[in-house]
């Protein structure tokens, strides 16, 4: 049978139902999906000899394999052998790979791929790969993939190679003139080279082509949306006195940007055409009060507002905050999640994706989507298909340059919140070395007992890991236990994603009320948690996080009038990681930090972080103005000739 990009992965030899389910859970269901599941990084190997190999170097060697010995130490069995060429000898070690005794043949010449290390003053290679010299040579560049459950890099390497052998039909999705003008390779070549590059030149060609493709298709889609007529909606009238009344009911003064956003929304909602506005603002710029105003205007016109949040924790926080803003105006706000149902009639309903399974009311006039990139496209559009179409406000704190947002999201009206409320002080951020932890703990205890501060502690893991790469990382559970000993007189809570929703709600409530002084958590607090008295955040193994994510986490503190502090506790600090973390101590601007993170780590290494970004780009650098401009011009030209 001919294989195409849309061929289901279950049809690929070697992919059974169990593996297909794991892939489907990650939205990988077709050949196209898997080909666009790019490696997270690449290992570059150097052909050399044993005598010239350096410590930690990734090498390809050619030599003769000596006898293999099997040894056991406790539950661990390991295999050792010598490998030698004309220049020297090196020790090879494998762990729990007894089958190699049958597969490998001592006295035979092999080519070897691995990393040089030292053990007891002797060169060694752990778990090297060997293949006969009669086979194809090892590639100089090895693709390393994100692990999905028990699907490791080796599985992806084998499966991608199998797909390439099947030669699926890969149709071109860029116009030929665009390929020629920008000197881009074909889509087929790019998808093969990104997974199986023979050299750095091929890898660079693939990245250049696929990054261009990402932004070109995004620009083209945005321009097509811009051309479509706006659907009709119910106009929501409001007089200027009501705007003044709303502002006066607040316990703080609005920033100029907030006032401008409110005025723009006010004029949008008065029109008989559906508002489709993006509210873009960095962490702490006050997007929620602007959303509350939009809901206020809808309620004044007897129209219901839906506010959709990506997590239950965020939905509960929004419910609490927006209720406070709208209570003076007798506007009823209710909560809907999988575990909570509205207690009475409402004018504003806040919830998770559970909102999508509700029968929407006939007077649904406004839909507000918070951190919209966390919802699928289909989920976001579901509520927009109603007739008459509800007005829509999309909010995000994802760092995007304003000029880029104007370009890529040209089908949306844009409100940009550029300053934080006047009472908020810049958060003081410190990189704390291991030697200063004890004094940091004393300082934290003083802040809690004397100034009534509360503390977030963020860990990268819930439980301790057996993985060699993660063994050095402290888990949330481990930190929780340590802090109970360090701060015996202080109440401490433990929050993570595996807790039941009721337990999460209870912990957040106790923390909000000040009953819990230190809340140890995973990144479940990254978005939306708003505790004004939480003014210290400790981030364990801070080097494990991207700068944009660290900035989001830092935004959880300093939301009241007291000084906020962010303490970065690294576990391993390379020079590159130190440079990144020191940038966080210098800069408060999310866009600048995201740009710096991209520069220091590169798009391929920010896998996972970028996937949660507003535009869901894998390779394209959204701060590359030259690429943004080139793809926009190409998209305009393509549409003009269509």
Whether residue 367 is found in the same domain as residue 475: no
Tens of pLDDT, residue by residue over 136-192, are 888 899 999 988 888 999 999 999 999 999 999 999 999 999 999 999 999 999 999
Whether residue 327 is found in the same domain as residue 393: yes
Percent of the chain whose predicted confidence (pLDDT) is above 70: 89
- The residue-averaged pLDDT of 59-63 equals 96
Whether residue 396 is found in the same domain as residue 271: yes
Q: Which is it for the CA torsion 556, 559, 560, 561, positive or negative?
A: positive
pLDDT for 401 equals: 66
pLDDT reading at 463 higher than 60: no
- Look up the domain containing 98 and give its range: 46-138
Q: Evaluate whether residue 91 is within a structural domain.
A: yes
Q: Evaluate whether residue 557 is within a structural domain.
A: yes
Please tell me which residue, 576 or 493, carries the higher pLDDT value.
Answer: 493
- The residue-averaged pLDDT of 419-427 equals 82
pLDDT for 472 equals: 42
Q: Point out the domain boundary residue: 138, 167, 192.
A: 138
Residue 438: partners with Cβ closer than 8 Å, 6 or more residues away: none
Q: Evaluate whether residue 184 is within a structural domain.
A: no
Whether residue 318 is found in the same domain as residue 383: yes
Helices (H), 385-492: 402-408, 437-451, 476-486
Q: Evaluate whether residue 263 is within a structural domain.
A: yes
pLDDT for 611 equals: 34
Whether residue 545 is found in the same domain as residue 481: yes
Whether residue 485 is found in the same domain as residue 381: no
pLDDT for 524 equals: 65
pLDDT reading at 223 higher than 80: yes
**Average of per-residue pLDDT values in the chain:** 86
pLDDT for 466 equals: 39
Q: Point out the domain boundary residue: 107, 138, 169.
A: 138
Q: Evaluate whether residue 126 is within a structural domain.
A: yes
pLDDT for 375 equals: 47
74-78, 301-305, 539-543: which range is least confident on average?
74-78
Q: What CATH number does residue 118 fall under?
A: 2.40.50.140
Q: Evaluate whether residue 436 is within a structural domain.
A: yes
Is the distance from CB of 92 to CB of 82 less than 8 angstroms? yes
SS (HEC) of 80-143: EEEEEECCEEEEEEEECCCCHHHHCCCCCEEEEEEEEEEECCEEEEECCEEEECCCCCCCCEEE
Tens of pLDDT, residue by residue over 92-131, are 999 989 899 999 999 999 999 999 998 878 899 999 999 9
Whether residue 404 is found in the same domain as residue 505: no
Looking at the structure of the chain, the number of domains it has is 3
Whether residue 311 is found in the same domain as residue 435: no
Is the distance from CB of 488 to CB of 510 less than 8 angstroms? no
Percent of the chain whose predicted confidence (pLDDT) is above 90: 53
Q: Evaluate whether residue 561 is within a structural domain.
A: yes
pLDDT for 545 equals: 84
Whether residue 514 is found in the same domain as residue 478: yes
pLDDT reading at 270 higher than 90: yes
Whether residue 393 is found in the same domain as residue 451: no
Whether residue 532 is found in the same domain as residue 389: no
Whether residue 399 is found in the same domain as residue 442: no
Q: What CATH number does residue 544 fall under?
A: 3.40.50.300
Q: Evaluate whether residue 369 is within a structural domain.
A: yes
pLDDT reading at 469 higher than 60: no
Tens of pLDDT, residue by residue over 330-351, are 999 999 987 788 888 999 999 9
Q: Point out the domain boundary residue: 417, 446, 479.
A: 417
The torsion angles phi and psi of 152, rounded to 5 degrees, stand at -95, 180
Tens of pLDDT, residue by residue over 553-611, are 888 888 777 899 999 999 888 888 888 899 999 988 887 787 777 666 654 443 333 33
């Amino acid at each position: 049978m001919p294989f195409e990009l849309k061929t289901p992965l279950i049809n690929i030899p070697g992919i059974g139902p169990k593996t297909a389910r794991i892939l489907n859970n990650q939205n990988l269901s077709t050949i196209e999906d898997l080909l666009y599941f790019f490696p997270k990084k690449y290992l570059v190997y150097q052909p050399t000899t044993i005598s010239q190999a350096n410590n930690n170097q990734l090498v390809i060697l050619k030599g003769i394999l000596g006898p293999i010995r099997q040894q056991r130490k406790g539950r661990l069995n390991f295999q050792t052998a010598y490998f030698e060429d004309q220049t020297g000898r090196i020790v090879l070690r494998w762990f729990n790979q007894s089958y190699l005794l049958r597969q490998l043949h001592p006295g035979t010449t092999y080519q070897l791929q691995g990393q040089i290390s030292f053990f007891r003053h002797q060169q060694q290679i752990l778990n090297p790969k060997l293949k006969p010299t009669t086979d194809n040579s090892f590639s100089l560049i090895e693709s390393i993939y994100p692990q999905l459950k028990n699907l490791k890099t080796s599985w992806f390497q084998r499966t991608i190679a199998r797909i390439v052998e099947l030669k699926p039909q890969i149709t071109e999705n860029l116009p030929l003139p665009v390929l020629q003008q920008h000197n881009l390779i074909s889509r087929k070549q790019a998808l093969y080279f990104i997974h199986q590059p023979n050299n750095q030149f091929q890898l660079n060609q693939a990245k250049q082509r696929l990054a261009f493709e990402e932004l070109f298709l995004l620009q083209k889609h945005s321009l097509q949306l811009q051309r479509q007529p706006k659907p009709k909606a119910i106009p929501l009238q409001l007089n200027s006195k009501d705007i003044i009344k709303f502002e006066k009911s607040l316990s703080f003064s609005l920033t100029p940007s907030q006032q401008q956003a409110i005025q723009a929304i006010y004029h949008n909602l008065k029109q008989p055409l559906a508002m489709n506005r993006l509210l873009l603002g960095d962490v702490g710029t006050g997007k929620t009060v602007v959303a509350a105003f939009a809901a206020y205007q809808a309620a004044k016109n007897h129209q219901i507002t839906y506010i959709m949040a990506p997590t239950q924790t965020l939905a509960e926080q929004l419910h609490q905050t927006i209720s406070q803003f709208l209570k003076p105006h007798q506007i009823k706000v209710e909560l809907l999640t999988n575990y909570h149902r509205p207690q009475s009639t409402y004018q504003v309903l806040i919830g998770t994706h559970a909102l999508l399974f509700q029968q929407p009311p006939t007077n649904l006039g406004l839909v507000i989507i918070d951190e919209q990139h966390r919802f699928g496209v289909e989920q976001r559009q579901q509520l927009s298909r109603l007739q008459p179409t509800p007005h829509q406000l999309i909010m995000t704190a994802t760092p995007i340059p304003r000029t880029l947002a104007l370009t890529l999201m040209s089908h949306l009206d844009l409100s940009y919140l550029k300053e934080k409320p006047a009472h908020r002080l810049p958060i003081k951020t410190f990189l704390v070395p291991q030697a200063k932890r004890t004094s940091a703990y004393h300082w934290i205890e003083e802040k809690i007992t004397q100034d009534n501060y509360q503390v977030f502690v963020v860990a990268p893991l819930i439980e301790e890991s057996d993985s060699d790469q993660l063994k050095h990382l402290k888990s949330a559970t481990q930190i929780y236990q340590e802090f109970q000993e360090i701060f015996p007189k202080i109440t401490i809570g433990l929050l993570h994603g595996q807790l039941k929703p009721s337990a999460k709600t209870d912990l957040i409530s106790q923390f909000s009320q000040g009953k819990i002084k230190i809340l140890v958590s995973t990144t479940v607090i990254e978005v939306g948690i708003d505790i004004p008295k939480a003014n210290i955040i400790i981030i364990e193994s801070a080097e494990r996080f991207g700068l944009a994510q660290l900035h989001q986490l830092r935004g959880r503190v300093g939301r009241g009038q007291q000084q906020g502090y962010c303490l970065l506790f690294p576990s391993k600090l390379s020079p590159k990681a130190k440079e990144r973390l020191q940038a966080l101590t210098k800069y408060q601007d999310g866009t600048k930090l995201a740009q710096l993170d991209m520069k220091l780590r590169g798009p391929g290494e920010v896998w996972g972080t970028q996937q949660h970004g507003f535009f869901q780009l894998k390779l394209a650098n959204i701060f590359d103005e030259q690429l943004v401009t080139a793809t926009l011009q190409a998209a305009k030209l393509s549409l003009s000739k269509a």
